[in-house]
């Protein structure tokens, strides 16, 4: 399923126009991104938690040349699924 499919399914389920549903989905994604950018986590009970994780600086290797390179520390988005989501995926 891609974003368009998701929007179509939500619009059909709620009986709302696709344009209105698309605006909602875009807003939701934007607000999650803004919260993560501000260092906050987003908790959706039963579904999961969006958070940022820190990656330490490390040494890597260029696969083409074999040269050693330094990879800078960074923050990356992460998702931790909730119990209800885990159960629905495992068929429970």
For residue range 15-61, list pLDDT tens digits in order: 999 999 999 999 999 999 999 999 999 999 999 999 999 999 999 99
Q: Which residues pair with 74 in a beta bridge?
A: 55
Instruction: Report residue 91's pLDDT band, with 50, 70 and 90 as the boundaries.
Output: confident
**59's tokens:** 């040494």
pTM: 0.81
Q: Which helix (H) or strand (E) holds 22?
A: helix 18-37
């Amino acid at each position: 399923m891609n974003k368009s499919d998701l929007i179509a399914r939500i619009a059909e389920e709620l009986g709302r126009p696709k344009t209105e549903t698309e605006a909602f989905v875009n807003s939701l994604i934007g607000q999650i991104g803004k919260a993560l950018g501000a260092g906050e986590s987003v908790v959706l009970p039963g579904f999961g938690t969006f958070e940022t994780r820190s990656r330490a600086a490390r040494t890597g290797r260029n696969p083409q040349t074999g040269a050693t390179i330094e990879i800078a520390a960074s923050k990356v988005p992460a998702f931790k699924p909730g119990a209800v989501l885990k159960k629905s995926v495992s068929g429970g």
